Amino acid sequence: MSTVPIAKPSLIGHEMQYVVDAISNNWISSSGEYITQLEHAFANFCETKHCILTSNGTVALHLALVALGIGAGDEVIIPDLTFAATANAVILAGAKPVIVDARLDDWCIDPKQIELSISSRTKAIIPVHLYGHPCDMSSINALAEKYKLKVIEDAAEAHGARYQNRRVGGVSDCATFSFYGNKIMTTGEGGCITTNSDYLAQHARMLRDHGMNRDQFYWHEHVGFNYRMTNMQAAIGLAQLERIDEFISDRKRILDTYKYFLLPHGFIMNPMLKDVEPVNWMVSVLFPEVDVDVRDKALLFLKQNHIETRPFFNPLTTMPIYEGCHHPISLYLSRYGLNLPTFYGLEEEVIARISRLVVSVLSRITV
């Protein structure tokens, strides 16, 4: 019996055709039509003025931080419950991540905890739209205004999500996205920054290309990087973007189907606050606290039944390489949360089978 994976890309649109076109025309490196087209199309999709493609989502975060002038001696507030890249990019920029708790309402960074963690060194906040649910951006932007901080949305998991009717990516100073293979749309590896700031876009482009003066060849005014994406990856991305509405609506169908089977059994699933449209990057269930190891037992049981699942992220502060004290909400979510297979075209009967297995774990523990 073949394993149902947690995620897989769908490459049945124009992906192959565009990649073959890029290769046939010799444009395989980091300039070319697909780069320009994808930058325009993705900015358009996010309703922002600019999109700067990068080699992945982690370097997009690093590039955004450096372009905003954040570095040694600065503090950047990030959530405890996120993928490690959010913290690593801050450390790579020479700044210090100050790690704060999530809140139960939306599993995202808690604005109240942000305010308690602001110091004279704080320069920026990186809210992460966890599992595709937008953060409380109006509270976060209000804090940013009050304390003169920059906001970078880590939107790696939230392509197309809306906050108060506006697309994420355009609701703060800038945002970063990932186009890794398991994200809502993919370029294999890849990422980008979106912003409405002309200055920031221009500065990030220059830093992306070795900090070279754009009008004077081999004249470098800043210590830059090579964080460019290739035209071949952009070719895949353009084909993916053509289908993004379909990807997003299918993820909604998948979540609704899981909810139909699981909600009656006491599971808490992907949050949805008013005024937001999440994109359900990963279907997520929180097990009731019947047994401290219930989630891990479920993961093992599903694996034995050829279903791949993922535990929620470990809170950053539980790992010795990051500084900070433990946070109760992040610990709770991380201990009881499980991500279930979520990918385009996942059939209803497979969702039903996975759900039955999840429910049976619970009944075996409670009897």
DSSP 8-state secondary structure symbol assigned to residue 226 = B
86 binds ligand PLP (CB under 6 A): yes
Q: Mark residues 42-71: x for contact with ligand PLP by CB under 6 A, - for none.
A: --------------xxx-------------
128 binds ligand PLP (CB under 6 A): yes
Nearest distance from residue 229's CB to ligand PLP, in Å?
11
What H or E segment, with its residue span, contains residue 154?
Answer: strand 150-154
Q: Which parts of the chain fold into alpha helices (H)?
A: 15-24, 33-46, 57-67, 85-92, 111-117, 137-147, 198-208, 231-242, 244-262, 294-304, 328-336, 348-366
What H or E segment, with its residue span, contains residue 277?
Answer: strand 276-277
Kindly determine how many residues on this chain lie close enough to bind ligand PLP according to the rule CB under 6 A. 14
Q: Identify which of residues 58 and 194 has a Cβ nearer to ligand PLP in the complex.
A: 58
Nearest distance from residue 183's CB to ligand PLP, in Å?
6
178 binds ligand PLP (CB under 6 A): yes
At a CB cut-off of 8 Å and minimum separation 6, what does 233 contact?
179, 187, 188, 189, 190
Nearest distance from residue 130's CB to ligand PLP, in Å?
7
191 binds ligand PLP (CB under 6 A): yes
| Burial class for 81, CB neighbours closer than 10 Å (0-12, 13-18, 19+) | buried
81 binds ligand PLP (CB under 6 A): no
Nearest distance from residue 129's CB to ligand PLP, in Å?
8
Residue number of the CB atom closest to ligand PLP: 57
From the list 34, 42, 45, 180, which residue makes contact with ligand PLP (rule: CB under 6 A)?
180
Q: Helix, strand, or coil here: 339?
A: strand
At a CB cut-off of 8 Å and minimum separation 6, what does 10 contact?
243, 247, 343, 344, 345
82 binds ligand PLP (CB under 6 A): yes
129-168: which residues touch ligand PLP (CB under 6 A)? 154, 156-157
Q: Identify which of residues 41 and 63 has a Cβ nearer to ligand PLP in the complex.
A: 63
DSSP 8-state secondary structure symbol assigned to residue 108 = S
**Token pair in block for residue 266:** 């006491």
Q: Identify which of residues 341 and 358 has a Cβ nearer to ligand PLP in the complex.
A: 341
What does the binding site for ligand PLP look like in residue numbers (CB under 6 A)?
A: 56-58, 82-83, 85-86, 128, 154, 156-157, 178, 180, 191
